[in-house]
Amino acid sequence: MSKQKLSYDEQLAAAKQFIQEHEHFLVVSHIQPDGDAISSTCAVAWILEQCGKSYVMVNESQTPHKFHYLRGAKAIIQHSKEPINQLFDAVIAVDCADFLRIGSVSQAFSETAQILNIDHHPTSDLFGQVHVIKDDAAATAEILYDLMLTMQLKLDKDVSECIYTGLLTDTGGFRYSNTSPKVMKIASELLTYGINGNTLAEHLLETLSFSHIQLLKKSLSTLSFSDDYQISWMSITQEVVNNTGASNEDFEGLVNYPRNIEGVEVGMLFKQTAPELVKVSFRSAGKVDVAQIAKSFGGGGHIRAAGCSIEGELSFAIEEVVSKVKKALI
C-alpha cells in the first residue's frame, strides 16, 4: 500500500486531483449511518457542487430523521428500499472503516470503478485507489474541512452545519479524548458562519425519543458486570426491539450507560438483530483497545469505540465477547 506513505497534505492533494479528473460521482458512507457519516456525505456533495460536478448520494440504510436538517440529507437515496440501476466509475466513500461497511451500495460500482476513500478509522482496510486516511482526526468531517481548505473553497452556513455536526457527534459533544485543539479551532470558525451550536447540541445530544427511553428502561434491567466490575454490559432481544418500535437511531447512546459506571473499563451493548445474529457495541475507558477486540470478531472501529456482529444466540455472543475482554484486561 505505497499510497499510505503519502503525507497528509499529499493525500489531500491526491483527493483534489481525483475530484478534478472525474465528472459524475457516487457518494457513499457506511450502513446504519451516524452523524459523521451523513454530514460527510452531504459535505462531499457540497464540494462537488462547488466544482461543477454531478453526483448521486446513496446509503444502504435509511437516513435518520434527525439529520434531515442537513443540506442535501433528504436527497440521499436509501439503497435497500430504492436500488439504483446505474453503475458508477467514480466513487467517494466517507467514514467507511472497511469495504463491507459500504454494504449493498457496492453493487453500483462499475468493474473498473475508481474509489476515493476518506476516513478516520485506524482499522481501515485501505480499500480504494486514492486514500485520505487520518486516524487522529476526530471525525471524517474534520478531514473534509481540510480538503475544503486545500481546494480553496469558501465555506458557507450550510456546509459549516455539516462539518460542525460531524465534529459534534463523533466527539460526543466535544467531550471525548478526540476533542483536539484543532477540533475546537475548526468548530469556533464554523460558528462564525451563523450556525447555532446550542440548537444543534439540544437537537442531537439532549433530545430523547420516546422509543429510546423505552429501550433504556428495558435494557437497564439486563445490566450485568464481570466479577471485578471492570466490564459491564446490557442486552436487547429482538422481541424488545419489536415491542418498542425502535429504529436504529434509538439505540444511540445506550452503550454509554455501562461504560460510564465508575470503575468500568469496557462497556458493551449486545443487540439481537436476527435470531442468530448479534450486533455488539464496545466503549472503552482507555485501558483496552476495543477496536482490536472488535476486529478479532470481524468488526472494527476506534480504540475507545468499536463494533462488530456475531453469528449465534445472544447468550453465546455475550460469553464469547466478555471472555475476550477479560483476557484483554489481564
Q: Which residues bind Mn ion (CB under 5 A)?
A: 36, 95, 139-140, 170
- Residue 247 is classified by DSSP as -
User: Smaller CB distance to ligand 5GP: residue 139 or 159?
Assistant: 139
Question: Binder to ligand 5GP among 43, 250, 300, 325 (CB under 6 A)?
Answer: 300
Selected from 3, 309, 324, 326, the binder of ligand 5GP by CB under 6 A is: 309
Which class for 184: exposed (0-12), middle (13-18), buried (19 or more C-beta within 10 A)?
middle
Give me the residues paired with residue 55 across strands: 25
Grid coordinates in use for 18?
481525483
Here's the x/- map for ligand 5GP, 66-105, by CB under 6 A: it reads as -------------------------------xx--x----
- 193 SS3 class: coil
In the complex, the smallest distance separating the C-beta of residue 81 from Mn ion, rounded to whole angstroms, is 24
- Residue 247 near ligand 5GP by CB under 6 A: no
Q: Rule CB under 6 A: is residue 224 a binding residue for ligand 5GP?
A: no
Which of Mn ion, ligand 5GP, none is residue 36 near (CB under 5 to 8 Å by kind)? Answer: Mn ion
Tallying the residues shown for the chain, one arrives at: 330
Binding of residue 214 to ligand 5GP (CB under 6 A): no
Tell whether residue 322 is a contact of ligand 5GP (CB under 6 A). Answer: no
Neighbours of 319 (CB within 10 A): 12
Find the binding residues for ligand 5GP in span 263-282 (CB under 6 A): 281
Residues 28-57 that bind ligand 5GP (CB under 6 A): none
Q: What is the dihedral of CA 296, 300, 305, 311, to 10 degrees?
A: -60
Size of the site for ligand 5GP (CB under 6 A): 15
Is residue 254 part of the contact set for ligand 5GP (CB under 6 A)?
A: no
Binding site for ligand 5GP (CB under 6 A): 97-98, 101, 123, 255, 281, 299-302, 305-309
